[in-house]
Amino acid sequence: MAHYKAPLRDMRFVLTELFDYNDINQLPGCEDFTPDVVDAVLEEAAKICEEVLLPLNRTGDEEGCHWEDGVVTTPKGFKDAYQTFAEGGWTGIACDPAYGGQGAPKTLNALVEEMICSANLSFGMYPGLSYGAYAALHSHASDDIKTRYLPKMVAGTWAGTMCLTEPHCGTDLGIIRTKAEPRNDGSYAITGTKIFISAGEHDLTENIIHLVLAKLPDAPKGTKGISLFIVPKFMVDDDGSLGDRNKVKCGSIEHKMGIKASSTCVMNFDGATGWLVGEPHQGMPAMFTMMNQERLSVGIQGLGLGEASRQGAASYARDRLQGRALTGPKSPEKEADSLLVHPDVRRMLLTQRACNEGSRAMGIWVARALDTMKHHPDPAQREEADEFVQLMTPIVKALFTDWGFETTNLGVQVLGGHGYIREWGMEQYVRDARIAQIYEGTNGIQALDLVGRKLPAKAGRYLRRFFHPVQNYIESHVGDEELGDFVQPLAKAFMRLQQATGEIAQRGLKNPDEAGAAATDYLRLFGLVAVAYMWAQMAEIALAKADNDPEGFYRTKLVTAKFYMERILPQTGALFSAIMSGSATMMAMDEDAF
């Protein structure tokens, strides 16, 4: 049976030692979330995740969702758990207090999201999608729409979805066929079919508010012709009460590899009543508010599952007696030594730890920028933070989810045959993790976004938001002998990243296939360097505190940091070589040969 304990000690380390949380607490709108309040929130989040959500993870996976004539029922226990979750205020923790939310900074909410994903990712999909829909409406909807819908969404009484994908198109949203016909009363008749709609239909809330991409009759071709509409499952009367059922229905649910307790729906809109959100033909900017929010959250999903898998693998390795140490028995009084005596088992466990803790640090770095972007009184600071978030979003989404799948696979490997069977819960993490590399834009699309949009944006200005602080850190610490084991590897990898960036920029101008061929390797190279920057700073803190460390926390940090620099960061060399090889081999084969 899987178990999970929220890694609160490491979360506090990242929040208050690696970074200065006071920077966030002092932002307008974040004053109520003092360090003491944040600590209490983390403690309570840990309780509900460990005690309420975790026990439903395996049972929800085994039972899955049920569909019958358009009605979807979630697994046993989910409805009661959701009610407890909503009553505790967790559906609105990061929402605007003007609509009943608590206004928590993203820096805190990211850690809460991680715990939810570790405990029960399928459950987390329901409030997660609702928050994304809330964010899009909060940023782009009229005051009337916000007043009518947001309070119930914030309270968790109503849920939200995003309806983008259609049977014939996923990433290429410019060719969607869903239509929006204007009516005389200001509403629109929405007709079309959307697929892969997470939480499109369920029994957790009274109403479900769909955000739907569709095209008006006069829409220009491509993505410039997409508009965004709000389509409630049940109509909402002027007094806020629910009226008639709208003409939107779940045609079926998908039978999936993982996240089986999350309903993934085919949604049919048959002249359903909807209202325009924002301006006509401006649906993509509005939807990207939601998608960028979701892409960061999906990255956190990879981290959460990786952490749960690491804990299960480490616990098993401590207790499992199997074989003898290569250097001689370590527990001669027992019939065998624990798995922890074997170097390869340690390699897997340390890889999990190094990737997870590095991702947690990097995720909070980006979350802090989101808070600055939203709350800082200085427009210049907000703009710089926005540029940093734009640059790092595809890296967080792709790197964290790639690592999530890789580290959960390592967890299975540590347990061997026991990892492959359902009883220990480890194989579910692998199945659940796989989708995160696909939805909200596949990781290949994230890589293309990085090299095709973010690198050239504003004549390369986005890159400065990352390159400058890393360069400054290296220059100010390169002479520190004690930090040499951490700063020198970072400097070498950073040099590779700089050179690869220049090469891709030059080659891509002459032949776009060059940038496309390098994109995935370049994103991984960038991500490895970014996490190395986090690990160098964490090592610096740990070095200063290791001599007074009764719990061994900082000594463990140092060992993990050095492992990352010596065993994971060298991957940048191979990635650099692959990038520099160009696109010729990749593009040489005739299509018929595939």
Give the residue numbers marked as catalytic. 440
End-to-end CA distance of the chain: 43
Which phi and psi (to 5°) does residue 310 adopt? -60, -45
Is residue 221 within 8 A of residue 172, CB to CB? The reply is: no
- Mapped onto helix, strand or coil, the DSSP state of residue 547 is coil
- Look-up of token digits 């030059």: 506
- Mapped onto helix, strand or coil, the DSSP state of residue 98 is helix
Going by C-alpha positions, the residue among 295, 400, 325, 316 that lies closest to residue 357 is 400
Rounded distance between C-alpha atoms, residue 383 and residue 80, angstroms = 42
Q: Which two tokens stand for residue 334?
A: 């027992």
- Mapped onto helix, strand or coil, the DSSP state of residue 407 is helix
Task: Give bridge partners of residue 248 from the DSSP assignment.
Answer: 269
207-215 and 158-163 as β-strands: parallel, antiparallel, unpaired?
parallel
- For 261-310, give the DSSP string: TS-EEEEEEEEEEEEEESSTT-HHHHHHHHHHHHHHHHHHHHHHHHHHHH
- Mapped onto helix, strand or coil, the DSSP state of residue 328 is coil
Where is 412: in which H helix or E strand? helix 379-415
Is residue 102 within 8 A of residue 92, CB to CB? The reply is: yes
Cα separation values, 89 from 44, 45, 97, 482, Å: 11, 11, 12, 46
Going by C-alpha positions, the residue among 392, 406, 391 that lies closest to residue 437 is 406
Q: Which two tokens stand for residue 163?
A: 């309806």
